Chain A
């Protein structure tokens, strides 16, 4: 099942795949053990003439063991997850680039601050459904929505964040490592156009990106 994950191009989210694999193997082992035991019991303790079930009311020792083991496993997993979570869902410190993204039925609008590096000024650039970023740079997204809730989902970056009208959410950031063109579908039901609400992340090398910037803001 792990093989079905799309290519991971995120600096930040490598740990997500590691956690995914860890949980995958834990659950596979638990599944095989539990279902294996179940099948074994079903065969071994099936009704046979002359055999009687054994009267067993329970075992406090066993209850304590499996309660403790499960608790340790889940707490362990939680502990491993906290740093990943905090890392993924916190505002970027000193981002290289800041882009505002606005969801609006049924498009993503990407707003670049322009040369003055300030949003809401004359030189802002608004693009429809195309997000250009340079590779290996820390990009901070300021996420808003105009109408309903959308969800900004970049599968290849293992990032997802709902865009909520009335809020600007600053906890989405990423660093893409591989130039290319990736999808940014909307992941939260937003109306009849939801299936086709899809933007693209275009990761360029630094030189290409600088050239693109020159094109947009020729001076």
Chain B
């Protein structure tokens, strides 16, 4: 302890000259007087133009919010695509509702609805031939179907979950929680966001080029993705690859920034083992991104060469050439760490929420950190479990099965530690906590269903079935997205200075939770029944064998209805989000009584975050310490009785 006392003095000179003595108090709940001073302080120094403040901002908090809005917009794009193909799965060959032609129009060409008029115009024009051929009357034909699910996954993985978890939470939380004024490289930070915007624009452009957008799956397996003759997709797939290449640069720039910031800019006294777990998770994820994305980038570059320059890295020809499996190795060598990039920050957020709302220290802080590091390491040696049936040497399968199953160990450690944190706690069922509990329980299901796939003999059967679809959605939707929702509601008061409406948040939570399970749980059963994934029509062609897939028609309808519910329920969140920014109840500085440093900063957080860089005296989870009156002790609150020198 006495080290930190010394440290705090050495770092005094870091402080702004303008700071006053608001920080020396022990009263951590009400700081109204300090609030005013800080605002004054912020205004005195930073008069910014609209463009500097809201568009080309260098402030980590604004960039974080930009990433958040970006991710939420893309969430609706990605979700909308899913609803389009869910319709086809439930009602194959039937025109989509609203935008599809009416029955009358399809039968005798009589224009009844507005949609009929639209289709009439499409048929009359010379330009929209591709749409005419692939989506006649608004029926999702196979080529479009492939495009829809490809883009659904691409957008959700690269443009929703990573930007929100890493871009938004990473940017907003890292400087605030480690107690510094901004990121190490603010200009790189801005570059990272605007590269992501550029990538999104290029990705969106793919939808309007002739031939349609990429349709080789988000995994883009070669040779399907290589030669336009196999899919009929021309520039769509090129743009897909170029966009992901740029998104990769965006992530790289961001991750370098995060790593530098966390290593160098922690507040005095913020030792590694006093870092909040969410910062640990973001730090580990930044390292994963830094190492994984270049692999994808090189694979994409080779793919672009194959497509445009006539090379044969990923195709085998009679004269030799490359190997389709090379793509899979490169893609999954990136792809599996990517999966942990999607879930680790979720684990970090859940850890914060569970500790705060159980009013208890996190159970086994160190093992939580080690478990995350273990997951990150193991993530590099498990990629082959995506390739058990690919033609890779079966001997490799045994190796990858072992490493993959080992991931169950750190995952179990984390789950038990979350339970341990709730044990003998005093649990507050706030909406963020409900999301955290949903995260833990959905992660349990997603983790357990993973064991089936890790087990090679069982995987032979369930590989490429809906079982996989169920698993990935339990991990990435049930896991990452519930953590995202919980995190948004939890940090909203710090981001916007207001609460989100609690009633709406609760309604949104329960409807999402129910609709989510109704959508994705039945997919396990479909998968066990042998329902293949990525098929545009489960009812297609049965000659004399009643196909398993046909048996599941009713279940597909149920899933689709749940999916539509799930989609529309998210509008509540958006309404609540936007409404609360302007009309929400004004939040005090530390509304949830949290220890970590972001709640030390005034609300709304000014440019530069802290009037005075806080000094950290203890770990982040000192809740309900015996003998203390308050049930929380902020990290920056000095000891009551400083340890005497020499003890």
Residue contact A85 to B624, C-beta cutoff 8 Å: no
Residue contact A162 to B449, C-beta cutoff 8 Å: no
Q: Mark B524-536, 1 if CB is under 8 A from A, else 0.
A: 1100111010111
Q: Mark A172-199, 1 if CB is under 8 A from B, else 0.
A: 0000000001110101111111111010
Residue contact B389 to A66, C-beta cutoff 8 Å: no
Q: Mark A46-73, 1 if CB is under 8 A from B, else 0.
A: 1110011111111100110011001101
Q: Which of B325, B363, B461 contacts A56 (CB 8 A)?
A: B363
Indicate if B80 sits at the interface (CB-CB under 8 A).
Answer: no
Residue contact B536 to A189, C-beta cutoff 8 Å: no
User: Which residue of A is nearest B424, CB measured?
Assistant: A54
In the bound complex, what is the Cα–Cα distance between A6 and B405 (angstroms)? Answer: 26
A5-B528, A89-B397, A191-B230 known; A58 vs B367 contact (CB < 8 Å): yes
In the bound complex, what is the Cα–Cα distance between A27 and B143 (angstroms)? Answer: 38
Indicate if A90 sits at the interface (CB-CB under 8 A).
Answer: yes
Indicate if B142 sits at the interface (CB-CB under 8 A).
Answer: yes
A158-B460, A182-B545 known; A62 vs B420 contact (CB < 8 Å): yes
In the bound complex, what is the Cα–Cα distance between A38 and B534 (angstroms)? Answer: 35
A70-B408, A81-B401 known; A54 vs B324 contact (CB < 8 Å): no
Residue contact A188 to B391, C-beta cutoff 8 Å: no
Chain B residues with CB below 8 A from A13, complex form: 457, 460
In the bound complex, what is the Cα–Cα distance between A193 and B547 (angstroms)? Answer: 17
Residue contact B427 to A82, C-beta cutoff 8 Å: no
Q: Mark A79-97, 1 if CB is under 8 A from B, else 0.
A: 0011011101110000000
Residue contact A37 to B419, C-beta cutoff 8 Å: yes
In the bound complex, what is the Cα–Cα distance between A159 and B325 (angstroms)? Answer: 20
In the bound complex, what is the Cα–Cα distance between A58 and B421 (angstroms)? Answer: 8
Residue contact B624 to A55, C-beta cutoff 8 Å: yes
In the bound complex, what is the Cα–Cα distance between A70 and B416 (angstroms)? Answer: 11
Q: Which of A48, A90, A166, A200 contacts B394 (CB 8 A)?
A: A90
Indicate if A127 sits at the interface (CB-CB under 8 A).
Answer: no
Residue contact B525 to A45, C-beta cutoff 8 Å: no
Q: Mark B427-460, 1 if CB is under 8 A from A, else 0.
A: 1110000000100110011001101100111101
Q: Which of A27, A90, A167 contacts B451 (CB 8 A)?
A: A27
Indicate if A211 sits at the interface (CB-CB under 8 A).
Answer: no
Residue contact B423 to A148, C-beta cutoff 8 Å: no
Indicate if A140 sits at the interface (CB-CB under 8 A).
Answer: no
Q: Which of A5, A55, A195 contacts B540 (CB 8 A)?
A: A195
In the bound complex, what is the Cα–Cα distance between A68 and B230 (angstroms)? Answer: 49
Residue contact B221 to A31, C-beta cutoff 8 Å: no
Indicate if A107 sits at the interface (CB-CB under 8 A).
Answer: no
Indicate if B556 sits at the interface (CB-CB under 8 A).
Answer: no
For chain B, residues 628 to 646, give those with C-beta under 8 angstroms from any C-beta of chain A.
Answer: 631
User: Which residue of B is nearest A169, CB measured?
Assistant: B391
User: Which residue of B is nearest A196, CB measured?
Assistant: B540
Indicate if A131 sits at the interface (CB-CB under 8 A).
Answer: no
Residue contact B441 to A38, C-beta cutoff 8 Å: yes
Residue contact B364 to A58, C-beta cutoff 8 Å: yes
A58-B367, A200-B545 known; A23 vs B426 contact (CB < 8 Å): no
Chain A residues with CB below 8 A from B406, complex form: 71, 74
Q: Mark A23-54, 1 if CB is under 8 A from B, else 0.
A: 10011001100110110011001111001111
Residue contact A53 to B631, C-beta cutoff 8 Å: yes
In the bound complex, what is the Cα–Cα distance between A2 and B397 (angstroms)? Answer: 25
Indicate if B323 sits at the interface (CB-CB under 8 A).
Answer: yes
User: Which residue of A is nearest B390, CB measured?
Assistant: A162
Which interface class (under 10, 10 to 19, 20 to 34, 35 or more) fits A? Answer: 35 or more
Q: Of A14-22, A108-116, A117-125, which stretch is located at the interface?
A: A14-22
Chain A residues with CB below 8 A from B570, complex form: none
In the bound complex, what is the Cα–Cα distance between A105 and B229 (angstroms)? Answer: 11
Q: How many A-B residue pairs have CB under 8 A?
A: 282
Which interface class (under 10, 10 to 19, 20 to 34, 35 or more) fits B? Answer: 35 or more
In the bound complex, what is the Cα–Cα distance between A71 and B525 (angstroms)? Answer: 28
Residue contact B390 to A74, C-beta cutoff 8 Å: no
Indicate if B118 sits at the interface (CB-CB under 8 A).
Answer: no
Q: Mark A115-151, 1 if CB is under 8 A from B, else 0.
A: 0000000000000000000000000000000011101
Residue contact B437 to A38, C-beta cutoff 8 Å: yes
In the bound complex, what is the Cα–Cα distance between A114 and B214 (angstroms)? Answer: 42
User: Which residue of B is nearest A21, CB measured?
Assistant: B458
Chain A residues with CB below 8 A from B244, complex form: none
For chain B, residues 17 to 71, give those with C-beta under 8 angstroms from any C-beta of chain A.
Answer: none
Q: Which of A41, A90, A171, A191 contacts B231 (CB 8 A)?
A: A191
In the bound complex, what is the Cα–Cα distance between A34 and B411 (angstroms)? Answer: 13
A129 to chain B, nearest CB (A): 10
Residue contact A193 to B217, C-beta cutoff 8 Å: no
B547 to chain A, nearest CB (A): 6
User: Which residue of B is nearest A52, CB measured?
Assistant: B624
A91 to chain B, nearest CB (A): 10
In the bound complex, what is the Cα–Cα distance between A198 and B463 (angstroms)? Answer: 17
Indicate if B482 sits at the interface (CB-CB under 8 A).
Answer: no
In the bound complex, what is the Cα–Cα distance between A142 and B76 (angstroms)? Answer: 45
Q: Of B2-10, B286-294, B354-362, B583-591, which stretch is located at the interface?
A: B354-362
B40 to chain A, nearest CB (A): 38
In the bound complex, what is the Cα–Cα distance between A166 and B361 (angstroms)? Answer: 57
User: Which residue of A is nearest B409, CB measured?
Assistant: A70
Q: Mark B362-405, 1 if CB is under 8 A from A, else 0.
A: 01111100000000000000000000011100100110011001
Chain B residues with CB below 8 A from A162, complex form: 389-391
Indicate if B518 sits at the interface (CB-CB under 8 A).
Answer: no
Residue contact B424 to A53, C-beta cutoff 8 Å: yes
B619 to chain A, nearest CB (A): 9
Residue contact A160 to B425, C-beta cutoff 8 Å: no
In the bound complex, what is the Cα–Cα distance between A77 and B401 (angstroms)? Answer: 10
Residue contact B394 to A86, C-beta cutoff 8 Å: yes
In the bound complex, what is the Cα–Cα distance between A47 and B628 (angstroms)? Answer: 18
In the bound complex, what is the Cα–Cα distance between A48 and B426 (angstroms)? Answer: 7
Residue contact B452 to A23, C-beta cutoff 8 Å: yes
A30 to chain B, nearest CB (A): 6
For chain B, residues 537 to 571, give those with C-beta under 8 angstroms from any C-beta of chain A.
Answer: 537-538, 540-541, 543-545, 547-548
Q: Mark A1-13, 1 if CB is under 8 A from B, else 0.
A: 1101110000001
In the bound complex, what is the Cα–Cα distance between A166 and B226 (angstroms)? Answer: 15
A23-B458, A46-B429 known; A53 vs B408 contact (CB < 8 Å): no
For chain B, residues 219 to 271, give those with C-beta under 8 angstroms from any C-beta of chain A.
Answer: 221-224, 230-232
User: Which residue of A is nearest B395, CB measured?
Assistant: A86
Indicate if A161 sits at the interface (CB-CB under 8 A).
Answer: yes
A54-B624, A55-B361, A191-B231 known; A149 vs B224 contact (CB < 8 Å): yes
Chain A residues with CB below 8 A from B367, complex form: 58, 63
Residues of B within 8 A of A (CB): 141-143, 146, 215-217, 221-224, 230-232, 315-317, 321, 323-325, 358-361, 363-367, 389-391, 394, 397-398, 401-402, 405-406, 408-409, 412-413, 415-417, 419-420, 422-429, 437, 440-441, 444-445, 448-449, 451-452, 455-458, 460-461, 463-465, 524-525, 528-530, 532, 534-538, 540-541, 543-545, 547-548, 623-626, 631
13 A/B residue pairs, CB under 8 Å, sorted by A: A15-B457, A27-B451, A46-B427, A47-B427, A57-B365, A58-B363, A81-B455, A85-B398, A149-B224, A158-B461, A192-B536, A195-B536, A196-B541
Closest 4 CB pairs of A and B: A166-B316, A58-B364, A89-B394, A195-B535
Residues of A within 8 A of B (CB): 1-2, 4-6, 13, 15-16, 19-20, 23, 26-27, 30-31, 34-35, 37-38, 41-42, 45-48, 51-59, 62-63, 66-67, 70-71, 73-75, 77-78, 81-82, 84-86, 88-90, 105, 147-149, 151, 153, 155, 158-162, 164-167, 169, 171, 181-183, 185, 187-196, 198, 200
* Given A35-B441, A58-B417, A195-B535, 10 further pairs, Cβ under 8 A: A16-B461, A47-B426, A52-B631, A57-B365, A77-B405, A78-B405, A159-B460, A166-B323, A181-B545, A182-B545
